[in-house]
Amino acid sequence: MVKVTSILVAVLLSYTVVQAKLPASAPGIVVNDNVSSDAAGYQVSGNAQHTNTGLHLSLKSNTGKKDLYGKTIEDLSVDVSFETSERLHVRIADKAGKQYLVPDSPLGVERPKISHSAGDLNYDFQYTEKPFAFKVIRKSDNETIFDTTGQPLVFEDQYLELTTKVPNDANLYGFGELTGAYRRNNNANVTTFWARDVADPFYENQYGSHPAYTEIRNGKAHGSLLLNAHGMDIFTVTGRITYKVIGGILDFYFFVPEPAKPNAVVAAYTDLVGKSIMPSLWMLGWNQCRWGYQNISMVENVVEEYKSHNLPLETMWTDIDYMDSYKDFTFDPVRFPVSKVKDFTTKLHANNQRYVVIVDPAISTNSSYEPYSRGHEMDVFMKLNDYKTEYNGQVWPGYTAFPDWFNPKTQDYWSYEISNFMKSVDLDGIWIDMNEPSSFCLGSCGSNKGNQVPPDSSDAEHAKEQAALNALGTGVPGDSRNLLYPQYTINNGAGNLSEKTAPTTATHYGKIPHYDVHNLYGHGESYTTNTAIQSYRPGERAFVLTRSQFVGTGKYAGHWTGDNSATWDYLKVSISAVLQMQQFGIALSGSDICGFLGNTTMELCARWQSLGSFYPLARNHNSEGNIPQEPYVWPEVAESTRNALSIRYTIMPYMYSLFQEANTIGTGVWRPLIFEYPEDNRFLAEDVQFMLGDSILISPVVYQGADSIDAKFPAGIWYDWKDGTAISGPTTQTLHANLTEIPIHIRGGSIIPLKSPKLTVSDTYNTPYGLLVALDKNGTANGRLYIDDGHSIKQDSTSSINFNFSQDTLAAKGQFDYQETTKLEKISVLGGSFTTAVVKGKKYQLQKDDKTGASVAQGFQIDLTSSFTVQFN
């Protein structure tokens, strides 16, 4: 039995009240971040009880100020579980169990089943009895990584508050989804969690909710997650982090890996919430979309233009333009007739290309619309607070109903609609949008108005909506909470919690108010849609791309960063946005390349195509009314795209292996430099340069008019992808890049599997393998190649090949179960002086490649179905 290391003296420090001012990038927002220093707090009641998994405490409220923003809950329970050697679970909950918890299911987070406490813990848990507070301490260096002593604990039905002390200059990463710098401002900053349909504002809440962070102190990392789906503010203020939540419980997980590396924190986090989906190979190809392809002929023309300009194109997308009156699961009979769309997808598939379309959760309430009639009959739509009247919102098709993902019958309903729809034109994937959920009314648009067209938005209409919302009442039967207007007002950028979304008094299956599950709605749709696609194509990896997400959504879907703008600021910040998603376990992620809103420029689009070609999910997408921005529109952009995508498709076996590691280990496909090199303080705030895996450094140009970047290089040797020039780090070098180039360097000590780039993924993968061996100063290198069938969820056989170069010998060992038919035909070496390579007694000459600087041997016919060696001389 693991026991608590010690009981601290119950002396609280004096409180400091800090008035926060947000960064200049978020002007005009007034936020009070004061801690509730005069709150009553709690004390341990009775004796601590040791359990099979750790420790149980009972808490009783102290005398003092109560009911700050809700009704104080007098009796609490604290359950401390030593779940693994690196994961600690501390749950502070109401003893009566009335507060809403994140579901222990795919619609929430499936918690691991823990029956006994772990041994060899990397951490200690300590607590004080009166008032109750606790610490989490990393054993290896006795560092306190979470500390609530001297800070109030508030636990009310609609307000929770807890504060931990951190260093004044804390290096915090996470707390998203947020558009802003990757390293969090810890002087005065608030992150708000309330899913919201909004065009990527800087430093405001938007589509997703991930109340998790990684902190790096003196090169060592740890992490924490508050598993709570309610609206909340998290303040990162000098010397502390303060959580203010409008419901639920304080359900904390702490991640303390050894060695204490940032990537190990991400791996431990995804051990809990779930690893990222494993994409099919085709999902790594280039994607083209826009809102504004008015008919199928325009879409067909785009495909032809890509081909005529010799540009890779894997997947063509269409936005809501294809729909009949913007209704889900329909095609406009004139502009997108089903027969022509089916002919189009047939042609795409014959060319090894794909087709994906958008689907919104909002279902038109038109009485002649069968998806609504079926859902109505099955009773699967969200209700108002009388538990029986369907909630009506307003989205693109007019008045709409919303599937309730928490209703067990909804899966059958959604699977039927998705399967029939995909089958009708042989679709390859589904893109789900507007799933915060978004609605254009304030709260409810009224009861079912059938075929009536909603009125135009106006101040007068908005006032009517406000009055109608209030008339519904502020709560639900049997619940005393004010769900419309909680006393603590989170810093929701939209103001009213029901603005442009479902009313917080709407209800879900089991009489659950929307107030309690709002942040889970897009997550629920992601799981339900993934399951629906699998029912259509059993055994095949499903492609789902979602806008709204929650903790663990990466198990079911990828994510794009929403409605960004065609500006240089959004080009730069897209790097932080993608890095953030990698940290949260959503590896298949990217931003709309060249910008969604507004008109791009040739220069901006050229730079963005170069960067975006390396997003884990790479898609050009813009909005209706804007100028076209397909890469072939400008010759310079076409050239930058060809150059960058040629590299992406060349290193695709490396990228696919990284996705497999994300799916099994949990590490990101993209990685911040500080996560790879946590001891190098130059990278603490670096969010322009980034790593693709652990072997490729990308240094994009992200400023208008610039033709260079002052790039920081970690310790070691770094080889220029273009010409093989070696740079010895640590150093900073000015790298020049014309408009059609992006600086890329290979880490010395890496071995990268390669293919020959073609216009589609399948054609690329039909070419022989190559290896790029980049030697370190000791003449050694390592790498890995993962091979499977590229599309099945369950694999009968896979290969995981580990390459090692030392003492002038390349050795391949590992698992060789997949019967790969393509051969290894070419090996390029950077950093060595070799003239010959010998395989099974046969000698091959190495030739210097004047362009890449590598020594190249080719003509091998090496099977990748068993171990082998290559001797270099």
State pLDDT tens for residues 455-496: 566 777 778 888 888 888 899 999 999 999 999 999 999 999
Q: What is the rounded CA–CA span in Å between residue 452 and residue 439?
A: 16
372 part of a folded domain = no
- Residue 17, pLDDT score: 26
210 part of a folded domain = yes
Contacts of 462-467 spanning 24+ positions with Cβ under 8 A = 465/441, 466/442
What is the residue whose two structure tokens read 């608590």? Answer: 4
632 part of a folded domain = no
- Residue 446, pLDDT score: 62
State whether residue 693 is helix, strand or coil. Answer: coil
Cβ 556 vs Cβ 277: under 8 Å: yes
Find the helix packing angle between 370-378 and 410-425, rounded to 10°.
160
Q: What is the rounded CA–CA span in Å between residue 435 and residue 433?
A: 5
What is the residue whose two structure tokens read 């060349």? Answer: 650
Q: Total domain count for the chain?
A: 2
C-alpha distances in angstroms, 699 versus 500, 670, 746? Answer: 39, 13, 12
CA torsion, ordered 552, 558, 562, 566, to nearest 10 deg? 140
**291 Cβ contact list (under 8 Å, min separation 6):** 319, 320, 321, 621, 622, 623, 624
Element (H, E) at 850: none
Select from 270, 303, 337 the last residue of a domain: 270
563 is catalytic: yes
329 burial type by CB count under 10 A (0-12 exposed, 13-18 middle, 19+ buried): middle
CATH of the domain at 778: 2.60.40.1180
Quick: pLDDT tens for 82-100. 999 999 999 999 999 999 9
CA torsion, ordered 238, 240, 245, 249, to nearest 10 deg? 170
- Residue 450, pLDDT score: 55
Q: Can you give the length of the chain in residues? A: 873
Q: Which of 120, 152, 124 minimizes the C-alpha distance to 43? A: 152
Select from 253, 270, 287 the last residue of a domain: 270
- The alpha carbon dihedral of 679, 680, 684, 689 has a sign of negative
- Residue 713, pLDDT score: 98
Q: Which of 369, 359, 361, 374 minimizes the C-alpha distance to 502? A: 361
DSSP 378-398: HT-B-B-TTSSSBP-EEETTE
Q: Where are the beta strands (DSSP E) in 641-700?
A: 670-671, 690-692, 696-698
- Residue 469, pLDDT score: 83
Q: What is the rounded CA–CA span in Å between residue 580 and residue 691?
A: 13
- Residue 14, pLDDT score: 24
State whether residue 265 is helix, strand or coil. Answer: helix
Per DSSP, 541 falls in state P
55 part of a folded domain = yes
- Residue 1, pLDDT score: 23
- Rounded to the nearest angstrom, the gap between the alpha carbon of residue 454 and the centroid of all alpha carbons in its chain is 34
Residue 324: CB atoms within 10 Å? 17
Element (H, E) at 471: helix 459-471
Pairing of strands 708-720, 726-736: antiparallel
pTM equals 0.95
Annotated active-site residue in 156, 319, 321, 433 = 433
- Rounded to the nearest angstrom, the gap between the alpha carbon of residue 790 and the centroid of all alpha carbons in its chain is 22
53 part of a folded domain = yes
358 part of a folded domain = no
Q: Which residues of the chain have pLDDT under 70?
A: 1-31, 446-457
Domain extent at residue 774: 768-872
Annotated active-site residue in 436, 661, 687, 820 = 436
Select from 220, 240, 270 the last residue of a domain: 270
Q: What is the rounded CA–CA span in Å between residue 553 and residue 184?
A: 23
CATH of the domain at 123: 2.60.40.1760
What is the residue whose two structure tokens read 């490729």? Answer: 696
Annotated active-site residue in 83, 563, 592, 741 = 563
436 is catalytic: yes
Q: What is the rounded CA–CA span in Å between residue 347 and residue 333?
A: 20
Backbone Cα Rg of the chain = 28
636 part of a folded domain = no
Question: Could you give the maximum distance between any two Cα atoms of the chain, in Å?
Answer: 86
185 part of a folded domain = yes
Cβ 440 vs Cβ 462: under 8 Å: no
Contacts of 867-871 spanning 24+ positions with Cβ under 8 A = 867/811, 867/812, 867/813, 867/814, 867/816, 868/811, 868/812, 868/839, 869/809, 869/810, 869/811, 869/812, 869/839, 870/809, 870/810, 870/827, 870/837, 870/838, 870/839, 871/808, 871/809, 871/837, 871/838, 871/839
Element (H, E) at 4: none
